[in-house]
Amino acid sequence: MKEDFTTYKVKDLLKLKDFGKEINLKGWVRTKRGNKQVAFIALNDGSIIHNIQIVADLEKFDEEIMKLVTTGSCISVNGILVESPGQGQPVEIQAKNIEVYGTADATNFPLQKKGHTLEFLREIAHLRPRTNTFGAVLRIRHAMSFAIHKYFNDNGFYYLHAPIITGSDAEGAGAMFQVTTLDLDKPPRTEESAVDYSKDFFGKRTGLTVSGQLEAELGAMALSLVYTFGPTFRAENSNTPRHLAEFWMIEPEMAFYDISDNMDLAEDMLKYLVQYAIDNCYDDLEFLNKMYDTELIDRLKFIIENPFERLSYTKAVDILMASGQKFEFPVSWGADLQSEHERYLVEKHFHKPVILTDYPKEIKAFYMKQNDDGKTVRAMDVLFPKIGEIIGGSQREEDYEKLLNRIHELDIPEKDVWWYLDTRKYGTAPHSGFGLGFERLILFITGMANIRDVIPFPRTPQNAEF
RNA sequence: UCCUCCCUAGCUCAGUUGGUUAGAGCAUCUGACUGUUAAUCAGAGGGUCGCUGGUUCAAGUCCAGCGGGGGGAGCCA
């Protein structure tokens, strides 16, 4: 927008020392205080968690205009940058002119100066980005997205765009949302009266992706190092603080990596991302540390400084059985570990992130590389304090016969995965990969407790508002 | 989906063994104050106690069903 004065972001103004400089800034009013002579307006434009203080000598301003400057309103200010005589801020703006872009009726604007519960803010998700908490979370979320692309780019990976609509449910990662253009009131029927999907848009039954992994493997068999980073959908009726129906997932896939290389990558990437947050989002982390989780920054630093504990599923089961700990679910070799077991290992036994490997094949997916013992597969799960499984991955089975046998054992229709099997037929290669839940990463980085508070507009069962 | 807890003013909550006209802080409005920092001080307005039914002389309070939300579990990332 054309202005006489140059427009600045609050983030830059707070660092500026050009006292006397004429500037313009635009943003949303957080609070207004004052008396008959002078008003103090705390303005925030989302560029940084801090507000900047606007000082308005009321004799210079139309009373009617100043009445419109209320919590939540949007204004543009022309003024002079001055050193602040008051406590609490290095600089402030002596206002010369205030233009009100948008009012916010104080009697019904839901956000107040006081703190709100996160549950209440979820009900007004259209306005919660204007709070300090969500400003911090959303800036960190952005920084982590950027850092993920930077990390992979700097390490020779290529960003592969896996499809969102897919006809393959072969991975069995979860229930799919169906995608169709058929008339649900009267769909076309076959002679056997089943729904005739050959008449559907794609000529077959399709759904939203539950994982880009299979497609990522196809890419890795050409570009060597690839990753996907996109939305992922699970139509599970999951009601927990760790699950969303629509979430974002990062799935690197690497040719010529074995399970050990895979673990090295996972650990290095997670540490890189934590370090990136500390280096680039410290103001926001400090705020979250103060308001929600006083151990947050210490925990982040601890992650960077200590190697993750790596051990096999079998050893983990031994430790759990020898622990003398009373678990709600008994531990036995062959059963999947429960949340309480994972938490015990991470939070009570090792006191640091744990990578578990070599799980029984029965409890893992068909594509994982089979070990020589005939019982286990080269899976790896990275378990983090507070949030549990943050990464699930494996070395993949590259042997055509072994993979085919496993597919038959599990009754997966061969016609659905012929293209996947083809990669093992033509120039197969040892390879590995994993999936990192983006929102779970953000949970860990921000110290937030509920996954619905680290995505702008959460999608969960019975909730697609906003 | 299962277990469990919660639902009282715009927000956060109190409300005794069931008993007069349901309270507080903050927010809002009005007024006071020459620089405030979640400003302060004084006053005012603001309620279908989630909804429906039941027990009772009497229900915010007890019971049942329904709805919404939190936490735990499962599914997983």
- Tell me how far CA of residue A172 lies from CA of A412, A413, A416, A445, in angstroms: 10, 12, 12, 29
Nucleotide lying nearest to A42, CA to C1' measure: B37
Q: How confident is the model at residue A130 (pLDDT cuts 50, 70, 90)?
A: very high
Give the relative orientation of helices A282-291 and A132-154 as an angle to the nearest 10 degrees: 130
Beta strands A309-312; A354-360: pairing state: parallel
pLDDT in tens, A12-56: 999 999 999 999 999 999 999 888 889 999 999 999 999 999 999
A132 is near strand B: CB distance < 7 Å: no
Nucleotide lying nearest to A435, CA to C1' measure: B77
A243 is near strand B: CB distance < 7 Å: yes
Residue type, A103: T
The pLDDT of residue A46: 95
- Overall average pLDDT of the A342-353 stretch: 93
Distance CA A136, CA A445 (A): 11
Helix (H) or strand (E) holding A79: strand A74-83
A452 is near strand B: CB distance < 7 Å: yes
Distance CA A169, CA A464 (A): 24
- Residue with CA nearest to B39's C1' atom: A33
Strand B contacts (CB < 7 A) among A residues 53-82? 53, 55, 70-71
Helix (H) or strand (E) holding A207: strand A206-208
pLDDT in tens, A223-235: 999 999 999 999 9
Nucleotide lying nearest to A449, CA to C1' measure: B71
Q: Against a cut of 0.90, is the pTM above it?
A: yes
